Structure 1
Amino acid sequence: MSVKSGILAGIVTISLMGVGVSSTSATEMTDALQVSDQLFEQREITGNLAASIAGLSPLLEVENISTAETYAVLWRLSQRYSAVNRYTDWDKQKRLAAFKKGIEYGQKAQELKPNGVEGIYWMAINLGREAELKGILKSLSSVKPIRRNMEKIISIDPNFHRAYFVLARLYRKAPKVISIGDMNKAELFIREALSRDGQDTYYLVELAKIKQKRGDISTAIKTLEEVIQLMPRQNDHTPTVKHNQKEAQTLLNQYR
């Protein structure tokens, strides 16, 4: 951790935890959430993800916290815990414990707001990451619950395009005979995602993988080349874009 980022994480954690269990105004709560969001947006900096989590947890103990505020904290905690696979050096057991917490916070968010897409989404993402870390059998058992949750999100908000991406990935990766694997559905769902955000690097890499699996190598190559040429947009998480571009280059190298 750099000195600058370490000081920032420390100051922010202390200021957020300073909310304690006493009453706080809506403005103070909003400010605390915004600061935590800023830390999460820079989660590639060592210590920021942990600081974001540490700052959120005490907010649940605030005496006069509203239902809406509680929901906002819960789904954020679920989101934060889902990111430990890439942005921490935690061992397997600690990551599994984090994903379990992410599932629990997501479930609590759903209890408060059953149709809140954030709670549904991040709970399912943690479920998938926990399953992948535990192995193939657990992964297979998680496929249908994840699909069910993504379908629920789409029924609530058809423009929540991340859900289409998750479904595309599920249908591509799942075995055809013993699970739900279906390349036609995989392409259908990734096209739905891309129709809502045509420059998302996650979606484009997924399209390339689907095309590769279907034997359309020329389209896969063209799509991967497109990913590599894209510049991060204002609201993109730049390290994520660069990570996806690196994966695109690795895939592209297979054809050269």
Structure 2
Amino acid sequence: MMSCILVFYLAFFGILPQAPDADVLYAQREQIASARQAAEIWARRLKTNPRDYDAAWKLARAHYWLGGHAPETERKRFLETGVEAGRSAAAIEPRKPEGHFWMAANMGALAESFGLRQGLKYRGSIRDALLTVLSLDPAFQQGSADRALGRWYFKVPSLFGGSKQKSEEHLQRSLTYNVNSTSSRFFLAGTLLGLDRRAEAIAELLRVLDAPVDPAWVPEDREFKQQAERLLVTLKQKR
């Protein structure tokens, strides 16, 4: 009885430790342990309530991050479960963009990182999901669907529907939602190099370096700036 009273008073006065906040943990995702913990919280929520839309799409987003930053042996598993979490979110709320987008993002990471077979497996599904996001909310996450479609058209061989011209169109459109997007400008630089427009590509890479950091995407912005810097060094060496 006394222990119950003690717990009550500790809780009343805010002395008991609070349950960790998954959103706060995810904001610290550069620390892989924090990203894992956030994913575990959302996974438990989704297991408790399979109709928890926020838990489903946030789990897909967390697994996308982990699929690119966890130890190599774990990455494919994270991305595959990220696809399933995104698919669950899209089924729960088909008229909202988050599930479709993060399902496509995880598929895209699998396609880029794990060979031709994965690329062929997901090629059509990625494009369809991103077109769905465009139809629902083209401004979602500062034009993320156009940005990802720009990358899709760049990476997919022309025989299977790829087009560097369409890649440029989508990436330029994504910049209308955020002119300082480091990801859009970095991807655009790659497309311009593919179109043999080296000077324009270098200009885009310099814009990546000059762009302000978005508080919501600090880790991603930092990584794109690092990639831009490395690519600029490579291009200068090839003069």
TM range, smaller chain? 0.7 to 0.9
Tell me if structure 1 keeps the 8 A contact 2:181–2:211.
no
**Cα distance in 2 between the residues matched to 1:40 and 1:47:** 10
* Structure 1 position 149 matched with structure 2 position 129: yes
**Cα distance in 1 between the residues matched to 2:210 and 2:155:** 26
**Cα distance in 1 between the residues matched to 2:190 and 2:221:** 17
Equivalent position of 2:149 in the other structure:
167
**Cα distance in 1 between the residues matched to 2:115 and 2:37:** 29
Q: Where does structure 1 lack aligned partners over 5 or more consecutive residues? A: 1-10, 17-34
* Structure 1 position 140 matched with structure 2 position 126: no
Q: Alignment partner of 2:228: what SS?
A: helix
Tell me if structure 2 keeps the 8 A contact 1:84–1:90.
no
Equivalent position of 2:56 in the other structure:
74
Pick one of 75, 87, 91 that aligns with 1:111.
91
Tell me if structure 2 keeps the 8 A contact 1:168–1:185.
yes
Equivalent position of 1:217 in the other structure:
198
Identity of aligned residues (%): 24
Provide closer, same or farther for how the CA distance between residues 144 and 66 of structure 1 changes in structure 2, counting only shifts above 3 A: closer
Q: Structure 1 residue 90: deviation in Å? A: 4.5
Pick one of 13, 16, 25 that aligns with 1:39.
25
| Bigger radius of gyration | 2
Give the letter aligned to residue 170 of structure 1: W
Q: For residues 10-61 of structure 1, give each alpha carbon's deviation from its aligned partner in whole angstroms, at most 9, with x where no partner exists.
A: x77xx25xxxxxxxxxxxxxxxxxx211111110013101110122222235
Provide closer, same or farther for how the CA distance between residues 181 and 55 of structure 1 changes in structure 2, counting only shifts above 3 A: same
**Cα distance in 2 between the residues matched to 1:215 and 1:122:** 32
Provide closer, same or farther for how the CA distance between residues 57 and 138 of structure 1 changes in structure 2, counting only shifts above 3 A: closer
Q: Give TM-score, length-normalised by structure 2.
A: 0.85
Q: Give TM-score, length-normalised by structure 1.
A: 0.79
Q: State the number of aligned residues.
A: 218
Deviates more, 1:162-171 or 1:97-106: 97-106
Q: Where does structure 2 lack aligned partners over 5 or more consecutive residues? A: 1-16
**Cα distance in 2 between the residues matched to 1:66 and 1:95:** 24
Measured on the aligned residues, the alpha-carbon RMSD in Å equals 1.9
